[in-house]
Every structure is written in C-alpha cells, then in structure tokens.
Chain A
Amino acid sequence: MTTTTSTTTGARQHPLDEYLRADRLPHIWCPGCGIGLILNAFLRGLLKSGLDPDKVAVVSGIGCTGRAAGYLKLDSFHTTHGRAIPFATGLRLANPELKVVVFSGDGDLLAIGGNHFIHAARRNIDMTVICVNNFNYGMTGGQFGPTTPPTARTTTSRMGNTEASFNIPYLAEASGAVYIARWTTAQVTHLEKSITEALVKKGFSLVEVVSPCPTYYGRSNRLATGLSLMQYYRDSSITRHGISTRNAAIDFNGQITVGKFVDIYRPYLPDLRGRYNGTSA
C-alpha cells in the first residue's frame, strides 16, 4: 500500500497535501511531464531541510514550470515572464526571515530572464533557483529556446536548431553561483538531496533539473513519450561530482552529465551588506 492518511471524511490524503493547494488539482501539466516529479522532490527536500515552511516563499515566472508556484501551499508568487529573480530579490532583501526559492523554467530564467539570472548570481543573493530544463518553450507549443541543443527539432526549428545552447552550470559558475547541481527526473533521490543542500546553502544556489516534455520536445525529436525520455535520461546520465562545469554541456540526444558541480563559500547579500552597514542582515 502507498502511504495514506485517513481523514475524518475518509478521503485518502497525500503526505504532501499540507503543502499543496489540493483544491487546485488536477494540475495543467501533460501526461509524462517531469514538473510534477520535481515539485514533489522540492517539497520532500524542503521538509528535510528543517526550514519553517511559513518562512519559505516561492516565486515563479511564466511558462509550464511557472505554474508550479500556484500549486504550492506556501507563500507563492506567479510573476511576469523572466522577472521571478528580481521579484525574489526584493522579497528576500525586504524580509530577512524569508528563504526565497525561484522555481521556473529554462526559457523564463535564461532567455527573457537571462540578465537577471547572471546578476543575481554575481551578487550572490541568498536564494535558491530550481531551473526545470525541458529544452524548449512548452507553454507556447514547443519552440526552440536558449537550452535547445543544436540540431534538435522544434516548431520553430523544423530543420534542426542552428543556435548554440547554454550550458547552465557553466553559465552559473562563471556568474558567481556558490552551489550548482544538475540531475534529471530519473534521479529523484539525488535531486531531493541536492534541493535540501541548496535550500540551506547561503548565497545563490542553483539546481538544474533536466525534465521530459514528451508533448512537444519529445514528439519533435522521436522521444514521444515520457517513458522514452526517462529511458534516455537513465541510459545517458553520468554522475560526475565536482567536474569542471565547462565540460557539462548537453548535446542533442547525447550524454547528460549530472552531479554536484560547485559547492563553495563566497560572501553573499544581504549578509555582506549588513557587514558594511554595521547592521545585521
């Protein structure tokens, strides 16, 4: 039997129901989509972190992953496209008690929000970013984006993507992030552990999660089911902790390097600001 709790009404409750807006379910995500798995891993990682859920705020931008905030029974903000990080910056600096998490997609964080991403990492703002990377813009029907591997087909690159893609961990490290890990949805236990570590890390922490989008990215690239994408992740993921992020690029249908790549200390905001001002952060 799966873990269930009976309530007075006799309804079966999911152990994470307390942290989900159950009255908003079912969610909008497609069958085979990985975002639900990641949301689950996030909540489990959060509970293990020991943080007070009343003091955790989640900020999302726009897109499929952007909808995550709306299902979480935490203080949650569904903002504008690309602006989750600066919104979260204001939230974090205004209220020193808060742990702020940005939960958003690769297009939101790295295309329209790319400038905010690198500057938040440079400042080493104390926040955790969970970046769901499904290699395309899912909400609008599967166009190529900043992480689409070269040659991959999408609805706006029918003949194959001719642009180079971001290697997210490399970009984050160069910009100044102090914690960087990548997993796929085929490694949820590792993912959960990294999320816990990222949540308690002081400074700008990033967890990239490679996630299936069978409906669009998969269908355009002959990986049309969630299962076939998960099979690919399982077969092609190689765990290499501490590898130079430079060598963590993902090629089309190629090997996916996963693991914890960066875990260092660097003075962060707002702690650093407090030290200059002689006030506590």
Chain B
Amino acid sequence: MSDGKYLSGEFFMSGDEACAEGAINAGCRFFAGYPITPATEIAERMSERMPEVGGTYMQMEDELASMAAILGASWGGVKAMTATSGPGFSLMMENIGLGVMLETPCVVVDIQRAGPSTGLPTLTGQGDMMQARWGSHGCYSIIALAPNSPQELYDLTITAFNLSEQYRLPVLIMSEAATGHMYEKIVIRPVSEIEITARRKPVVPPDEYLPFEPGDDLVPSMASAGSGYRLHVTGLTHDERGYPTMTAEAQSKLVRRLIDKVERNKESIIRLEEDGIDDAEVVVCSYGISARVSLIAIEQARQEGIKVGLLRLITVWPFPEDRVREIAGHIGAFVVPEINCGQISLEVERCAGGKAKTVLVPHMGGRVHDPESILEVIRQVAR
C-alpha cells in the first residue's frame, strides 16, 4: 500500500488527513502551522509525515508567523503549506496579502468552523468565503477551491499546489469541519502518476533577470534565494526589477497584472460540477459540504417532478461569472444553500442580474443544512 514515503491504494481516512497526504504527493516539503480545531489533524499528520519525506514541520507561535514562514520557505525553493480555521485565517490575512504582492506560490487550508470570533470551534461553518476573496487589504484576485469530500480534500490539495505554481500566488482551500472531520474511503494513485506543476525557474542568467517581468500569461518566473540571482522583493509597489516605485502608474501596472493573471486565465482555473442544468427550471448552486447535502434535496425534488439542476462550485474564486450568467438566462431561479447568512449567494445574485431569481438558504452554523430546508425552498421557487 505504501513504499514508506508515499501512500498509494485505498484508505479510510479523514478529510484533514487526506489533505495532508495530498500535500505530500504534490511535493509539499514545508508545513508551518499553529494548532486549531478543526484543522489540527492536518498539522499532526504533517508533523509525522514531513520528516519521513525529507521535509520540515514547523510549529509557529501563531498564524501570523505560520503564514510568514511558508512564504519564506517558498522563496527558499520549497513547496509550502499551512492549515487553519477561522480565527487563524483572520490572522493570516496580512501575509496572504504579502504572498499576493510577492507572487509567492503556497497553499492555505481553511477548515472552516462557525464564527464570528471563537464561535463554535468544533462545529462546522462556511462563513469565511468572502474573507477568502477580500480579507487582505487592497485590490487583488485569489484562487479558492471548495472540496466536498475527503477524496476531494486530497485531490484538490494537489490541484491547489499546481495552480499556485502556475499562477504564482497563494491558493486557498476553503473546506469546513464537516468535511475535514469526515472519514471516508479515499483512493490515492501512485505518486508517479500524479501530474505536478513545477516551479517556473528563470531561463536567463542573473544579470538579465527581472524578477517581476511577466511571461505571456502575465506570470513571471521565480528564482529562489541562494541560487545566485541576488533578487530583491518587497511588499511595496514595485517595478519589474522588484524595486519600490511609489507612483500611481506603477501601482496601476502591477495591481492590474496581479488581478489579470487570475481573471484572464479564469477558463483554465475554474472547475465546476454540473448536473441536469440544460432543462432545469431551478438550479441549486452550492459548494463544499452544502453542495453534498443539497443532493438529497435535489433527488427528492426530482421525484416530485421538479426540474432541478446542480451547479457545484469546485472553484469558488475566481467566481464562474460567465457560466452563472449563461444559466440565469434559461432558468427561473437559483437556490443557494450555504452555512452562513449569505456570501456566495451575493455573487450568484449579481451574476444572475435579475434574469433569474436568487434565493439563499442560510444556516448560521454548527450543523449542516437539514435537506428538508433546501427542498422546501426548491418547492417554493418551482411553483
């Protein structure tokens, strides 16, 4: 089942553990974190597994430090990850912004619990979805994925590492306690069969290297510390040399590119699962555990003769605006169940643009939805 370093085969494990194994198979060799329910199991597993694969586990003094440490590790030339939950995610916002500005590949896992503040530490929530998009100050774009099972926590952790290297930015995995603590069968393919995106290293010698000169896809190549490039990077607005440049023009050029490298490559970033949308009158648009719970309601509604489709957001950010607009043109309503008081529903409503109704099925957290509450809304809007 395993060659001692990499697992392969079928396993019964929690989402948190699957996430750690996904990271290892994606090539992660540095994990920094701070214990927090319900993400602690990721740190525990990484503390055991990192030394086995020649990596480093660092337990930092807080999440500010954890996020800073993974950025440092990434510039040291190593793939790096941290994992946390809401309170820690709030602290990480500062250096997620630095990661965006320095264009630093890394993965941040948020196993969401119910907030605000300490909230319900052991119980599930999806209240950090907008924070994932907008939580650090300033304008930027980000990539966030929402797994709906331990299997997907494994698979999407690998995807997250690949996207982070391809587009050079922190990629967020927005899971939740219900999935992180869920035990299920997961299938791990041999590591040799896994597609891995390598870091794009500079192809020019140090004296010709500009650390922030973008390629055709707007992404620059990345030298690591100690490789003789003697690069300078700064969280200040900078030019292609990486030098601070305090002008509105430099700001416009840099920030537009940071946004465009995500937005213009949306088509290849966005992953959706769709079912029965073509002839649907109602589409349930959801993500993570809430999309999974919705399946029960959808099944029941179909038995009652209602034409219901499913649009599951595997990629939540960048938001699949085009697809939602398209669907809005030929359905009556979107139903959006999420374990918060309305976050992704706002995006759905914005993109539906009045062409289709958007009805939120909120939940304040602590449990997943009762499928009956989703079914009830489907029935109402189908009338």
Contacts and interface: CB of A to CB of B under 8 A. Distances in A.
Interface string B267-290: 000000000000000000000000
A201 interface: no
Contacts of B51: 273, 276-277, 279
Contacts of B234: 69-70, 77-78
Interface string A41-84: 00000000000011101010000000001101111111110110
Chain A interface size, as a band, is: 35 or more
Nearest to A77: B233
B75 A91 contact: yes
Contacts of A90: 30, 32, 58, 68-76, 80
Identify the interface centre among B69, B71, B224, B225: most chain A CB within 10 Å of its CB: B225
Contact of A97 (B72, B226, B231): B226
Nearest to A53: B230
B61 A94 contact: no
B364 to A, nearest CB: 33
Contacts of A70: 232, 234, 243-244
B23 to A, nearest CB: 15
Contacts of B236: 78
Contact of A75 (B32, B61, B94, B230): B230
Interface string B55-81: 010101110111011111111111010
A94 B78 contact: yes
Contacts of A91: 72-73, 75-76, 225
Contacts of A59: 72
B54 interface: yes
A98 interface: yes
Interface string B27-50: 001101000000000000000000
B58 A55 contact: no
Chain B, interface SS category: mixed
B326 to A, nearest CB: 40
Nearest to B62: A115
Nearest to B65: A86
Contacts of B235: 78-80
A260 to B, nearest CB: 28
Interface in B127-159: none
B98 interface: yes
Contacts of A210: none
B228 interface: yes
A74 B225 CA distance: 9
B229 interface: yes
B69 A87 contact: yes
A128 B337 CA distance: 52
B373 to A, nearest CB: 42
Nearest to B97: A80
A243 B367 CA distance: 60
Contacts of B244: 70, 78
Nearest to A116: B65
Identify the interface centre among B30, B56, B78: most chain A CB within 10 Å of its CB: B56
A275 to B, nearest CB: 12
A98 B225 contact: yes
Contacts of A83: 64-65, 68, 94-95, 98
A54 B75 contact: no
Interface of A: 21, 23-24, 53-55, 57, 59, 69-70, 72-80, 82-83, 85-95, 97-98, 115-116, 119, 270, 273, 276-277, 279
21 contacts: A69-B232, A73-B230, A75-B229, A76-B233, A77-B234, A78-B235, A79-B68, A80-B98, A83-B68, A86-B60, A89-B65, A90-B32, A90-B74, A90-B80, A91-B76, A94-B56, A94-B78, A95-B78, A95-B226, A115-B62, A119-B60
